[in-house]
């Protein structure tokens, strides 16, 4: 379960998620997800996927998107506007992702045909659900939690980027997150601005035990996420911090880092 337009697919591929709920408050991001899934349905390889966003294929891909929304003229018009605005930028980004195998061979859904095939199959089975949703309302996130509970599956990976670092942790945000069906293996992934913590890197990456985070939100009720940093443990990567992970998971992560 996570927000944003691209990283979620990397996490799905690495985690081998069986179900995925993707959301964002920005309707343009939701429409990018629709474009991604239209292309996923037709592109059998990462190279074909990336090429579909390139200049030579832009008219053909635009036609695919238009056809997919033929019964929704208003949504078709707005999605095609997003396509025109972001197509070239997405193509450049996907080209970099395709080439990432050299630098990060074990991560990236476009950097490996097998990982791409896994995400594509999950999409074909209707197991990637996209919603327009906001962390600060009682609509999309509670609905996603209910859907996971109805399926009898825990949310093992929750990605919120750096969104929650931007504002005080409101009662509705607390209700939403504490209502997620986490278990002892669930983790929260987030980013923070390194400069706020005197880290000599743009981004600081945090891996937080899901149940630990829920307990903190219920009991100590921090007003800001940065208040949790006093419990962060360092790792052998200067940009990575661990908070409240179950002991067995900390050992696994340390082994992976080594």
Q: Are 101 and 50 in contact (CB under 8 A)?
A: no
Q: Tens place of pLDDT for every residue, the chain, 258 residues?
A: 999 888 899 999 999 999 999 999 999 999 999 999 999 999 999 999 999 999 999 999 999 999 999 999 999 999 999 999 999 999 999 999 988 866 777 889 999 999 999 999 999 999 999 999 999 999 999 999 999 999 999 999 999 999 988 889 999 999 999 999 999 999 999 998 887 777 777 889 999 999 999 999 998 888 888 888 888 898 888 889 999 997 644 444 444 443
CB 243 within 8 A of CB 214: no
Give SS3 for 135: coil
Give, to the nearest 10 degrees, the angle between helix 171-178 and helix 210-218: 140
Q: Is 149 helix (H, G, I), strand (E, B) or coil?
A: helix
Query: Which DSSP helix (H) or strand (E) runs through 205?
Result: strand 203-209
Entry pTM: 0.90
Is the CB of residue 253 less than 8 Å from the CB of residue 220?
A: no
């Amino acid at each position: 379960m996570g927000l944003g337009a691209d990283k979620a697919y990397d996490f799905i591929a690495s985690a081998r998620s069986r179900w995925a709920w993707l959301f964002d408050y920005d309707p343009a991001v939701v429409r990018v997800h629709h474009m991604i899934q239209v292309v996923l349905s037709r592109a059998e390889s990462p190279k074909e996927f990336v090429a579909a966003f390139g200049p030579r294929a832009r008219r053909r891909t635009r036609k695919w998107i238009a056809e997919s929304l033929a019964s929704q003229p208003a949504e078709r018009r707005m999605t095609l506007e997003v396509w025109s605005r972001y197509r070239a930028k997405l193509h450049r980004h996907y080209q970099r992702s395709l080439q990432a195998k050299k630098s990060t061979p074990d991560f990236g859904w476009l950097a490996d045909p097998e990982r791409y095939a896994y995400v594509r199959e999950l999409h074909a089975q209707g197991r990637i659900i996209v919603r327009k949703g906001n962390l600060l309302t009682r609509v999309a996130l509670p609905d996603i939690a209910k859907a996971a509970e109805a399926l009898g599956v825990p949310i093992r990976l929750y990605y919120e980027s750096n969104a929650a670092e931007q504002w005080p942790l409101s009662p509705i945000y607390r209700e939403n997150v504490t209502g997620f069906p986490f278990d002892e293996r669930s983790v929260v992934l987030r980013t923070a601005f390194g400069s706020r913590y005197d880290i000599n890197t743009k981004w600081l990456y945090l891996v937080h035990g899901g149940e630990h985070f829920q307990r903190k939100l219920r009991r100590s009720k921090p007003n800001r996420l940065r208040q949790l940093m006093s419990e962060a443990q360092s790792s052998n990567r200067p940009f990575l911090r661990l908070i409240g992970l179950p002991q067995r998971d900390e050992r696994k992560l340390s082994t992976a880092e080594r």
